[in-house]
Structure 1
Amino acid sequence: MDKRLLDILCCPVSKRPLRPLTAGEREQLNAAIRGGTLATVAGEKVAEAIAEGLITTDGQLVYRVEDGIPVMLPEAGIGTQQLGGFTPETNRA
């Protein structure tokens, strides 16, 4: 994702900055998707694996990136609190 675009994007709900998902975070989310236990904020089941995504800097919300375009709709966000063992990688260099 373009660094300039990432610098101006923020969560439409919390207004927190966003950063790209790490491979480990993406795998945790995709494991929950495979298990059929992940839903969007609007309550819709997430059926497709996440290839690329953005996460708020506090690790609470994830937004899918499709074909290089962030899907920043509040109802399309995925709350990480529904994942009991989700551990955001906050200490990135």
Structure 2
Amino acid sequence: MDKRLLEILACPVTKGPLVHDKAANELISIAARLAYPIRDGIPVMLPEEARKLDEAEAEQLRAQHPAAGHLPVSSPAGNAARSIVVPDDDVAT
């Protein structure tokens, strides 16, 4: 995988960075917990074609690549994640 290409590619779901897994021939979005296949040298950046990462695999990758596991501030997914409000159980409705 060309490093310049990897620098400009982003996860189509989170718009965040990708990690190249040479052994599995995948580009991984840790934030989205998706692994996009690379077929014949071409990344297939379709969420419906991506393999879902289980929690253990995602945690291991976050530990190895801490900067790649966060949603970018300017992404719609990142903005949505920061605007989620969890209701307080003590508040009467």
Unaligned segments of structure 1, at least 5 residues: 27-51
Identity of matched residues, %: 44
Relative to the length of structure 1, the TM-score reads 0.56
Mapped partners of 1:7, 1:84: distance in 2: 25
Aligned to 2:79: none
Give the counterpart letter for 1:76 in structure 2: E
More RCO (CA 8 Å, sep 6+): 1
Deviation at 1:22, TM superposition (A): 5.5
Which of 60, 85, 93 is residue 33 of structure 2 equivalent to? 60
Residue correspondence of structure 1 range 9-88 to structure 2 within 5 A: 9-21=9-21, 23=23, 26=24, 52-58=25-31, 60-80=33-53, 83=54, 85-86=56-57, 87-88=60-61
Structure number with larger C-alpha Rg? 2
Where structure 2 has 5 or more consecutive residues not aligned to the other structure, the ranges are 66-93
Give the ranges of 4+ consecutive aligned residues of structure 1 lying more than 6 Å apart after TM superposition. none
Tell me how large the CA RMSD over aligned residues is.
2.2
